[in-house]
Amino acid sequence: MTPTPRIPPGKAPVGQIDFAPVLGSIPSEITPDNSFVEVLLLGPGAGTRALFAQVFENSNWRLENVSSVPTAVSKLRQNPMAVVIYEDSDAPRPSSIPGWLELLAETRTLDHPPKVIVASRQADDRLWADVLHQGGYDVLPMPLECSEVLRTVSMAWLEWRREGEARPVRAMAMGAAR
């Protein structure tokens, strides 16, 4: 397997989008320490965690790892995050262990649900359609491509942020209509 390339901020190869301006301009109201945006990675694979860590190494994204849906939801209730990446394992999962569908159902109950991205080696049109139909944000094919991960996570974060900014406006409009 070819290692994921490390791309320093502002140094995207020709033909790739440079996300350094997007990643470098995180508003202070989104991040408590004014410098990082957290991404929650949910999955069993230590190898996958290492790959994601390498992708985010030179960005202002901080990767938080959890291994179960209940732990992820608990963490999101304590500390809202914009993006959750769920690693869909190749191994069969017993029905008693929650998967990405259960994650989506649980995150819908949050005040400002995160954008859920499913990362899978089985990424095909059917999975992509299922994820979108169930309310997920996108599917990342594995093995990971650094630029695709950064693009997808950045766009998910921007959409989450826009939704958060629109919430007070929608609430005021709904209250005025009564």
Check: CB of residue 112 under 8 Å from CB of residue 163. yes
What does the pLDDT read at residue 90? Answer: 66
State the DSSP string of 63-115. EEEESSHHHHHHHHHHS--SEEEEEE-SS---TTS--HHHHHHHHTTSSSPPE
Give the residue ranges of the chain where pLDDT is below 50: 1-34, 169-178
pLDDT at 105: 96
Domain ranges for the chain, please list them.
21-177
pTM equals: 0.75
Tell me which CATH code domain 21-177 carries.
Answer: 3.40.50.2300
The pLDDT of residue 173 is: 45
Give me the residues paired with residue 92 across strands. Answer: none
Strand, helix or coil at 24? coil
pLDDT confidence of residue 58: 80
pLDDT value for 28:
42
pLDDT at 19 (0 to 100): 45
